[in-house]
Structures are given as structure tokens and as C-alpha cells.
Amino acid sequence: MLKVERLDAFYGDSQVLHGVGITVGDGERVAIVGRNGAGKSTLLKSLMNAGPRVSGLVEWQGENLRDMPSFRRVRLGLSLVPEDRRIFGHVTVAENIEMARYAAGGNALPAAVVIERFPMLVPIKDRPGGRLSGGQQQMVAVARAIAARPKLMMLDEPTEGLAPVIVEQLARDVKAACVETGAALLLSEQNLWFARQCTDRLYIIDSGQIVFSGDWPALDRAPDVKQRYLAV
């Protein structure tokens, strides 16, 4: 479904990604893990043409995306939940989710249908986005992405700043949403517990390069890799 090869990414003259290569299959759930500043967010933004200048191959369902703008990538089935969530504070939870209709070109799920899949959102569906906690905002951002009916949902650091009980609920909701919709998942995350709950395999990125690829049991068998690239 997604094939990335020899991907370099730049902010101005500063190179952040160096020859990155990853794949995500149809319906597969994959994590990109690494320390803060390793290049995780830059990678997801590069896949959406959402900031960095990139070179290399980004192929989606056999099509080279090249310089395709972000809105067209969304309509092909790519969806990114950015680290800062981008919730509209002056409209309600339901209206935030309805915004997916514009991004998806009219193919989005109704907000009421999506909200039912996220129990935490049901009692606050009429609350303005600006009056939500961080955890509630993250739930809304994920729900809005699901509403666009993505074939691949990308989540960028979704657990940052969230209480443990919210992280646990988010893990259940993300996994359930992917199973119910058949969407693949590409998750950028530092929280290894959360990443393990939501995905089947992972890449480790360090200093803009992929340094490990495998499933979670393979990582467990490589404590030296975990210590070198993931220990704080």
C-alpha cells in the first residue's frame, strides 16, 4: 500500500531524514518509534507533503505521489493527525468532526456515527473545542481522521501530555477503529507501551535514519538495540 524509499527531508538547508525506507501493507498497523528529535514527525509530514522539502520515492497504491499537494493525498486515503491536534476552538466537537467532509470530498462518515465509536465523546459532542482537555482534544482529532474514511491513518505522538487512564482508553479506541474500518495505521510514538498495544511491528528511527525493523518480539530479543536507541 505505502512504499517509501531513499527518502531525504530538509528544512531549509538542514537535512533531517537520510535515506529512509519503510512499507505499510493493506490494513497493517506499524509504529515509528524513537527519541524526541529523531525525525518521527518529519517523516509523517513528509508523507503528507506538509512542510519539509523531500526527495526520494513516496508511492501510494502504486502511484508515485511526487509533489502532489496534501489535499489530494487526503482524497486518495491518507490522513494525518498532527502532534498539535489542530482542533477548532470556536465550534463544537461534532462540528470539528464534520470538517472531515471537506477534506474527504464528501465521502466522510457522519459525525454522529463516528462519535458513537468513541464513548468519551458522546457526553461532550456539543462542547466547543476550546473547552476540551488535552485528552479530549486528542480523541476528537482521531475521530475526525476516522470520519474521513482513511485507508491509512497516521498519528503523530498522540499520547504526549495525556494522563495514563486516557492513554489506555485511546489505545483501545484507536485499535478498535482500525479493526472496524479496515484502515492501516502508521503511528509515530515515544510511548512503547502504547505503540505495542496499537501495532504489530515497528521501525526505530535515530538521527533521521532507520536503525531497526521488525516485530515486537524481535525487539524484545534485542535488548542492546532498545538500550542504544530508546533508553532515556
Question: Phi then psi for 52, rounded to 5 degrees?
Answer: -70, 155
Show the DSSP H helices in 52-198 as ranges: 70-75, 93-98, 100-103, 111-116, 134-147, 164-181, 192-198
Does the pLDDT at position 106 exceed 70? Answer: no
Q: What is the pLDDT of residue 25?
A: 96
The string of pLDDT tens digits covering residues 23-76 is 999 999 999 999 999 999 999 999 999 999 999 999 999 999 988 999 899 889
CATH value at residue 45: 3.40.50.300
Q: What is the pLDDT of residues 180-208, one digit of tens each?
A: 889 999 999 999 999 999 999 999 999 99
pLDDT, tens only, 116-174: 888 889 999 999 999 998 888 988 998 998 888 899 999 999 998 888 998 998 899 89
Could you list the residue range(s) of the whole structural domain that residue 33 is in? Answer: 2-229
C-beta separation of 78 from 151 below 8 A? yes
pLDDT at 41: 95
pLDDT at 103 over 80: no
What is the pLDDT at residue 33? 97
Residue 119's pLDDT is what? Answer: 85
Q: Is the pLDDT of residue 105 over 80?
A: no
Point out which residues pair with 104 in neighbouring strands. Answer: none
Q: CA 3 → CA 6, 23, 25, 132, 153, distances in Å? A: 10, 5, 9, 36, 15
Q: What is the pLDDT of residue 117?
A: 85
Nine cell digits for residue 65: 505521489
Q: Is the pTM of this model over 0.75?
A: yes
Total domains in the fold of the chain: 1
